[in-house]
């Protein structure tokens, strides 16, 4: 009897917590959308920001956010997956491996402002990369790499040992087994992790304040040479991203419509992060279904 009551109480408590979480999230996102979406127009998305006139948009910031995200993912995905494969399949369970794993964990939990300041000292000043996409992307890499390593390692470890045995039992070598059995089986998990981390990178601001910078040149979307100073592709130009823009509009902007610009930018940012999260779930499930059918 007693255990039944405890059981019921625990269930109620857990449901309340879960409900509360959902409520907070819905309230938060709802509020952001309510405040901001009204100002999000095509004009807003396709006009450059303005520091002294009403009616500025977020065209360059939006581009910068995506460009930085892509460059960061190009750096982190291969490295992170390779690291995860190493830790789960090759590393011997000894002190060195334990140490590497602790490093990854510490790196993953570093406050992003610390990463940002480190980036400023090393990449911006010492390497003379200045406030740039490159500095920003490398700082974000420091901050994102451990996440992908962890995600990959966990996904590989959760592949049933029986599959590995089946493959080795056929005389299949380790690399071929990883490539053809383990990675495909772990792929949905890895992909979900990567997309979720992309959402985090997309919304990151503290690590970028002092690395990618608070300004960007007026981008010339007709000049795609990566060497031109105002080219969208130039990796050595400064690049204010959407979330940094929200920060700077809220703190230093003097335009009259600053609150609206900030609210609308926040809504756009939240929208994209939400899309990343939802697509991560959907895509993971879809691929799992597809892969078990074919391949």
Residues lying near other proteins in the complex (CB under 8 A) are found at 93, 160, 162-173, 176, 180-181, 184-185, 291-295
Q: What does DSSP assign to residue 37?
A: G
For other proteins, which is the closer residue by CB, 4 or 94? 94
Assigned token pair, 214: 């608070």
Q: At what angle do helices 258-293 and 242-251 cross, to 10 degrees?
A: 160
For other proteins, which is the closer residue by CB, 128 or 179? 179
For other proteins, which is the closer residue by CB, 113 or 166? 166
CB of 282 to other proteins, least distance (A): 20
For other proteins, which is the closer residue by CB, 130 or 184? 184
Sign of torsion over alpha carbons 230, 231, 233, 236: negative
Q: 3-class SS at 240? A: coil
For other proteins, which is the closer residue by CB, 125 or 292? 292
For other proteins, which is the closer residue by CB, 110 or 163? 163
CB of 88 to other proteins, least distance (A): 14
- Rounded Cα gap, residues 162 and 150, in angstroms: 22
For other proteins, which is the closer residue by CB, 35 or 97? 97
Angle at 195 between CA 194 and CA 198, to 5 degrees: 90
CB of 52 to other proteins, least distance (A): 59
- Rounded Cα gap, residues 107 and 183, in angstroms: 25
CB of 22 to other proteins, least distance (A): 33
For other proteins, which is the closer residue by CB, 2 or 160? 160
CB of 167 to other proteins, least distance (A): 8
Which among 77, 109, 119, 80 is positioned nearest to 207, based on CA atoms? 119
CB of 160 to other proteins, least distance (A): 7
CB of 94 to other proteins, least distance (A): 11
The b/e string for 227-246 (b: 16+ C-beta within 10 A; e otherwise) is: eeeebbbbbbbbbbbbbbbb
Cβ-contact 209, 136 below 8 angstroms: no
- Rounded Cα gap, residues 35 and 86, in angstroms: 46
Q: SS3 helix, strand, coil % of the chain, rounded to 5? A: 75, 0, 25
Q: How many helices (H) and strands (E) does the chain have?
A: 12, 0
Q: What does DSSP assign to residue 39?
A: G
CB of 163 to other proteins, least distance (A): 6
């Amino acid at each position: 009897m007693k255990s039944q009551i405890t059981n019921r109480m625990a269930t109620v408590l857990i449901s309340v917590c879960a409900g509360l979480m959902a409520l907070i999230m819905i309230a938060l996102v709802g509020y952001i959308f309510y405040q901001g979406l009204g100002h999000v127009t095509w004009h807003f998305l396709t006009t450059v920001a303005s520091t002294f006139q009403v009616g500025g948009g977020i065209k360059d910031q939006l581009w910068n956010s995506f460009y930085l995200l892509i460059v960061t993912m190009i750096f982190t995905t291969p490295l992170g997956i390779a690291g995860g494969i190493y830790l789960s399949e090759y590393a011997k369970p000894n002190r060195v491996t334990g140490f590497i794993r602790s490093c990854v964990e510490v790196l993953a939990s570093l406050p992003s402002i610390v990463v940002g300041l480190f980036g400023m000292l090393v990449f911006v000043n010492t390497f003379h990369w200045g406030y740039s996409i490159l500095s920003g992307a490398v700082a974000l890499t420091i901050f994102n790499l451990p996440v992908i390593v962890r995600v990959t390692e966990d996904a590989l470890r959760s592949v049933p040992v029986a599959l590995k045995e089946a493959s080795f039992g056929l005389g299949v070598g380790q690399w071929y087994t990883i490539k053809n059995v383990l990675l495909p089986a772990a792929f949905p998990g890895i992909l979900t992790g990567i997309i979720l981390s992309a959402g985090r990178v997309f919304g990151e601001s503290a690590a970028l304040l002092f690395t990618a910078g608070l300004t960007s040149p007026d981008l010339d979307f007709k000049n795609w040479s990566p060497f031109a100073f105002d080219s969208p592709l130039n990796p050595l130009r400064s690049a204010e991203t959407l979330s940094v823009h929200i920060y700077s509009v809220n703190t230093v902007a003097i335009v009259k419509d600053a609150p609206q610009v900030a609210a609308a930018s926040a809504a756009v940012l939240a929208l994209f992060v939400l899309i990343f999260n939802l697509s991560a779930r959907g895509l993971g499930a879809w691929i799992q279904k597809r892969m078990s059918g074919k391949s």
